[in-house]
Amino acid sequence: MLVSRLLLVCTAGLVTAHALRAEPKVATQTARNNNPKSVTEPKITFNSVHVDGPYIAMTFDDGPSATLTPKLLDLLAAHHIKATFFVIGENVAEHPDIVARAAREGHEIANHSWSHPNLAKMSDEGVRRQLWQTDEAIKSATGTRPTLLRPPYGSITEREKRWIHDEFGYQIVLWDVDPYDWKRPGPAVVRSRILQETRPGSIVLSHDIHPGTIEAMPSTFDALEAKGFKFVTVSELRHRLGANSRGESRTLPDTAVNLHKRSGSDSSLAITVSASGIFARQLGQDE
């Protein structure tokens, strides 16, 4: 009887010791799964894309212009080029037919604010109003809401990027090629700067409200095509990702997705699907 009790005590001791050794592993695994850092954050902002191929995106800001944008659309059609237009909302409201034509011809229409203010110096409500009015104007003209935002002057805070992405679902698009055409240096200079700076995966900034820019485009398109570049919209460029934007590492096989409500929502759900499981966490607007 005494032996039996001793054996029972020893067995219990061994089980307890094993459990204590195993517990940190379980706790560590649980912490890892519950840790928000286990969720791969979606990339919100990019100025270029690392691609497997000679793909570039031509982008045009501040339109539409009643006279210059139609001329540019004619040039793009003649070259079979698809571009991305970051439009000003008040211009869209004034010339919805031009925006509708651009979308109909396969170009991407994106948000560039309602009246071109510096978003980084505005209240959240002021920024929200600028973006929402433009979003509605684009939807009215094209039947589709935009998925990309380029802040005027490229000026936006990190906090704004996050809540705008959570609330509107926008990716923030900057650029890596800037010919400074807004300074009106002349068509030859605009062309030369674009040719010197453009690389595979480049996002080229220009403005379809300056005559010199439109005048520079025929020879610029010819020269870029002669170099072997292929033109796609910004969203198409992103879909050709060989890795994240330059300087960013890529994590596979995890994929992060934000599910959001467009208006009146104060939270979003970030979901990561990976080989090791599915993780989710709540995201606040101001996160």
Integer Cα distance of 148 and 235 in angstroms: 8
For the ranges 2-6, 61-65, 175-179, 258-262, the lowest mean pLDDT is seen at 258-262
Q: Is the pLDDT of residue 247 over 90?
A: no
For the ranges 167-181, 212-226, 235-249, the lowest mean pLDDT is seen at 235-249
Integer Cα distance of 140 and 3 in angstroms: 86
Q: What is the pLDDT of residue 240?
A: 84
DSSP notation for 13-52: HHHHHHHHHHHHHHHHHHHHHHSGGGS-PPP-EESB--BS
Closest Cα to residue 134, out of 151, 121, 120? 151
Tell me the H-state helices in 156-209: 158-168, 187-197
Is 61 tagged catalytic? Answer: yes
Which one is predicted more confidently, 259 or 203? 203
**Is the bond preceding residue 42 a cis peptide, omega within 30 degrees?**
no
Tokens standing for residue 129? 């109003």
Q: Is the pLDDT of residue 138 over 50?
A: yes
**DSSP 8-state assignment for residue 251:** -
Q: Is the pLDDT of residue 2 over 80?
A: no
The whole-number average pLDDT for the span 223-251 is 75
Residue with tokens 């973006």: 131
For the ranges 89-93, 153-157, 282-286, the lowest mean pLDDT is seen at 282-286
The tens digit of pLDDT for each residue in 60-102 reads 999 999 999 999 999 999 999 999 999 999 999 999 999 999 9
Percent residues over pLDDT 70 in the chain: 69
Closest Cα to residue 111, out of 132, 94, 96? 132
Exposed e or buried b for every residue in 9-20, given b needs 16+ CB within 10 A? eeeeeeeeeeee
Integer Cα distance of 74 and 41 in angstroms: 40
Q: What is the pLDDT of residue 19?
A: 43
Catalytic one of 165, 207, 208, 210: 207
Q: What is the pLDDT of residue 265?
A: 36
Banded pLDDT at 14 (limits 50, 70, 90)? very low
Tell me the pLDDT of the chain averaged across its residues.
80
Banded pLDDT at 43 (limits 50, 70, 90)? confident
Q: What is the pLDDT of residue 242?
A: 52
pTM of the model: 0.72
Residue 136 and residue 165 in contact, taking contact as beta carbons nearer than 8 Å: no
The whole-number average pLDDT for the span 233-262 is 52
* Angle CA 173–151–126, to nearest 5: 140
Q: Would you state the torsion angle of the CA atoms of residues 31, 36, 39, 45, taken in this order, to the nearest 10 degrees?
A: -160
Banded pLDDT at 42 (limits 50, 70, 90)? low
Residue 241 and residue 51 in contact, taking contact as beta carbons nearer than 8 Å: yes
**Cα 285–chain centre separation:** 17
Q: What is the pLDDT of residue 41?
A: 57
Q: What is the pLDDT of residue 133?
A: 98
The whole-number average pLDDT for the span 98-108 is 98
The tens digit of pLDDT for each residue in 192-211 reads 999 999 999 999 999 999 99
Banded pLDDT at 158 (limits 50, 70, 90)? very high
Catalytic one of 61, 62, 135, 208: 61
Is 116 tagged catalytic? Answer: no
